[in-house]
Amino acid sequence: MGQVDSARGLYTQAIALYEKEQNDLGRANALQALGDLDSRLGQVDSARALYTQAIALYEKEQNDLGRANALRALGDLDRRLGQIASARAIYTQAIALYEKEQDDLGRANALQALGDLDRRLGQIASARALYTQAIALYEKEQDDLGRANALRALGDLDSRLGQVDSARGLYTQAIALYEKEQNDLGRANALRALGDLDSRLGQVDSARGLYTQAIALYEKEQNDLGRANALQALGDLDSRLGQVDSARTRYTQAIALYEKEQHNLGRANALQALGDLDHRLGQVDSAQTRYTQAIALYETEQDHMGLAYTWAKLARLSTPWDTLMAHKAKKHAQQSASPQVINDVETLLQTPATSI
């Protein structure tokens, strides 16, 4: 419910009581829950320390299932921070423990997370194989919600590859499963993804309708983070169509929601988009301010991809181009370990500053 301080207080009380009762398993569970909270809030060091404490207690208690769950959460944290090798190793450990415990549902979740990692790195065949394995396990476990999530991820993969019909079919399957499970949040996410697909194909009215449906569901679920993401996507659509005032309003609304949710990465993305809008309108000083604000947030999140793009855009606003900024852009592109990001940044740095 977004009541962060209350949640933190309750977890802390629980941890103290578990310690008093010398209940290490309960303490591990509460430490992991507190780690999840800090991870969501972008408090990376604290989250890492809490997960590490939980893992040590699960090992002490010989609870391999708990250890697998905490490892997967730690893997998610490392993946988000671009620590690719570490995330891969941690997911692999978690999968081995899930197999040992014969926990197919946990294994499916970890396989999907590993698929997300490979998709981000452009390792398409591996990502597809991992998603397919996860879907098979979800079907075996009759977990329609997990299957819907994996189908949506596979749809994202096909969408990125331009396999439009396949992506649309996967999203449609996912939406049907979310409806069956009465999971409006998942349905909203899939509708937004389908809106992104239609937006990219120039199907403006369809995309706008899908985003609007998604926003309504996010509001119903009181999910401000999802609503912010959909508003930003709608802002991108308006920006592309030259509807400047509307785009600016959408971005501003999204930024306010990201701030409320303490979601630094989303806020940085929206600020970067607002900077792009200002650049296109020739408002160079404002664009530089937006990009600088975004960079500060990306640095907080250690997001190399965001840093690479934003440094490149900022470098192009300098006259002559700032070579130090361009160097930073290239360095972060390499650290992102994504061939797509590396190529995009090189292209940006070779593009005339009159365009984005």
Hey, what are 321's tokens? 């181009």
With 80 as the cut, is the pLDDT of residue 310 above it?
yes
**For residues 306-320, average pLDDT:** 90
- What's the rounded Cα separation, in Å, for the pair 199 and 208? 8
- Per residue in 108-153, pLDDT (tens digit) is 999 999 999 898 888 899 999 999 999 999 999 999 999 999 999 9
pLDDT band at 225 (very low <50, low <70, confident <90, very high): very high
With 90 as the cut, is the pLDDT of residue 320 above it?
no
- Per residue in 153-197, pLDDT (tens digit) is 999 999 988 899 999 999 999 999 999 999 999 999 999 999 999
The larger pLDDT score, comparing residue 83 to residue 90, is at 90
Torsion of CA 196, 44, 104, 153, to 10 degrees: 10
pLDDT at position 354 is: 57
- What's the rounded Cα separation, in Å, for the pair 82 and 79? 5
Closest C-alpha to 131, from 153, 156, 161, 106: 153
pLDDT at position 79 is: 86
- What's the rounded Cα separation, in Å, for the pair 275 and 202? 23
pTM for the whole structure? 0.77
With 80 as the cut, is the pLDDT of residue 319 above it?
no
The larger pLDDT score, comparing residue 44 to residue 249, is at 249
Q: What is the mean pLDDT of the chain?
A: 93
pLDDT band at 321 (very low <50, low <70, confident <90, very high): low
The larger pLDDT score, comparing residue 199 to residue 356, is at 199
pLDDT band at 353 (very low <50, low <70, confident <90, very high): low
pLDDT band at 68 (very low <50, low <70, confident <90, very high): very high
With 80 as the cut, is the pLDDT of residue 324 above it?
yes
Hey, what are 220's tokens? 């119903």
What Cα–Cα distance (Å) separates residue 248 from each residue in 16, 110, 111, 200, 317? 47, 38, 39, 20, 20
With b for 16 or more beta-carbon neighbours within 10 A and e for fewer, the 323-345 pattern comes to: eebbebbbebbebbbbeebbebb
With 90 as the cut, is the pLDDT of residue 271 above it?
yes
- What's the rounded Cα separation, in Å, for the pair 234 and 246? 9
